[in-house]
Amino acid sequence: MSHTFEEVRLRLPHLEVAAHLYGPEDGRPVIALHGWLDNAASFSRLAPLLNGVRIVALDLPGHGLSDHRPPGAGYNIWDYAHDILQTAEQFGWQRFSLLGHSLGGIVSVLLAGAMPERIERLALIDGVIPYTGEAESAPRKLGEALRALLAVERKRKPVYARFDQAVAARMKGVGAVSREAAERLAQRGLMPVPGGYTWRTDPRLMLPSPLRLTLAHAQAFAQRVECPTSLIIARQGLMTDAKVIEFIDSLPFESHRLHGGHHLHLDDDEGAAAIAAVFNPFFAS
């Protein structure tokens, strides 16, 4: 990674998180939130291209170099909202903006809908509302989650004999990425173990959700967002459901459809530059 950033660790009241800091200290405060199973390196191409902003690119709990949640705790999407607020407290930010990709974008919308007084702007990349579930499926989903939780301690994370094997596996994962993008994520996300390398991520992140918001719940959060919002939709990304797109088009969001996959901000320089061309005037306005 050729651009300068500062590596920091932040001791929150409930756990410790790691982050990359970009930009001038007096810039517009922005907390950047990566996608599921990614880490702060997700913003290593884009963050240096954004002007006049002070970016705290977090490793969300359970990801990258941040702590895992303690035994008995879970990774519900709304729990990340508390992590974000506690991070903002570390910097004395009462109002701040959010830059979110995928899961990070979904969490950003939840927090902005729940506490609109704290969020100045939302910059979203291929993520707005979560996968949802209706009441009739809730008992089955909870049962699946509880069975998986009981079995998680018996499971072992994959071990890759070579770094490049782990990179190849990440390229084929959910939201497939370019080789260089996978290498950036792997440099931060892998750790050495006997026999090779494995991912630092908490295995509980792969467990099924015990409870999902209903579609009405998810839409209510998005509809309550009061701050200016700019959304990038990747044309070859994951936001392809017609009903979701129809709902998003009904929102008062500034929306842009750009060529690229789900990780277009990280896959190559062209994708990062195209997003920066959208977000720089948005943050400056």
The catalytic residue positions are 102
Amino acid at 91: F
DSSP 276: H
| Phi, psi for residue 194 in degrees, rounded to 5 | -55, 125
Instruction: Give the helix/strand (H/E) hosting 96.
Output: strand 96-101
In total, the chain counts a number of residues equal to 285
Helices 242-250 and 215-223 cross at an angle (nearest 10°) of 30
How would you label 156-184 residue by residue, b for 16+ Cβ within 10 Å and e otherwise?
Answer: eeeebeeeeebbeebbeeebebbeebbbb
* Collapsed DSSP state (helix, strand, coil) of residue 81: helix
- Report how far residue 164's alpha carbon sits from residue 146's, in angstroms, rounded to the nearest whole number: 34
- Report how far residue 169's alpha carbon sits from residue 164's, in angstroms, rounded to the nearest whole number: 9
Residue listed under structure tokens 């702590």: 67
Token representation of residue 70: 């303690």
- Report how far residue 258's alpha carbon sits from residue 248's, in angstroms, rounded to the nearest whole number: 16
- Is-contact 272 46, C-beta < 8 A? yes
